[in-house]
Amino acid sequence: MREVSAAAWAATARFPIYGVAVHVRSLYNVGALFRASDAARLSHLYLTGGCGHPARERARIDKTALGSVDSLPWTYAPDPLPVLAGLQRAGITVAALELSPGSRPLGEVTRSDFPLALVVGHETDGVPPAVMAACDLVLSIPTWGRKPSLNVALAYGLGVLTLAGLWAAAPSEKEL
């Protein structure tokens, strides 16, 4: 296991991937979102709506975040829609990670889809309809079990790490 020093990490370029959590209630799940975001070298994590956040619940979030709160830029906003609109104005593709008709498998994301913000929702209710409507596309994780869904933190972790791998492996425009 390797751990990067704080100074080296501060100088490391982040991937053009953003996380947006909407109404994720469990503080353990929020901590896991931080941990996965750090592991995938995200640019920023946005906690919105009813999400717990470190300014309010730091000790409980740290149980699963394990210090990643300090290594990742994050923002809390009460309403997710202005966050999504701001990301889109900045040229960032906003993608919900949700089981939905017409969703695209996560592994089919291409370099042209980046920069990309991955949106996840409430543990049982998913991404709210108004937020889904504001997204540019919907991505899904294929599953083959009896239950078609995954825990939000697990799905998010798979999502951001898959996106990071796709970004890191794709040839840059200079190589094309």
Inside any domain, residue 122? yes
CATH number for the domain that contains residue 163: 3.40.1280.10
Where do the DSSP E strands lie in the chain? 17-22, 44-48, 74-77, 93-97, 104-105, 116-120, 137-140
Q: How many distinct structural domains can be found in the chain? A: 1
Name the pLDDT band for 102 (thresholds 50, 70, 90): confident
Inside any domain, residue 59? yes
Inside any domain, residue 175? no
Tens-digit pLDDT profile for residues 64-90:
655 665 678 889 999 999 999 999 999
Would residue 23 be called left, alpha or beta, if left means φ above 0 and alpha means ψ between -120 and 50 degrees?
Answer: left
Inside any domain, residue 4? no
Neighbours of 103 (CB within 10 A): 16
Average pLDDT over residues 109-135: 94
The alpha carbon of 114 is separated from its chain's Cα centroid by a whole number of angstroms, namely 13
CB-based contact 97:119 (threshold 8 Å): yes
Inside any domain, residue 2? no
Inside any domain, residue 139? yes
**Structural domain range at position 42:** 12-169
Average pLDDT over residues 40-69: 74
Q: How far apart are the first and last CA of the chain?
A: 34
Inside any domain, residue 1? no
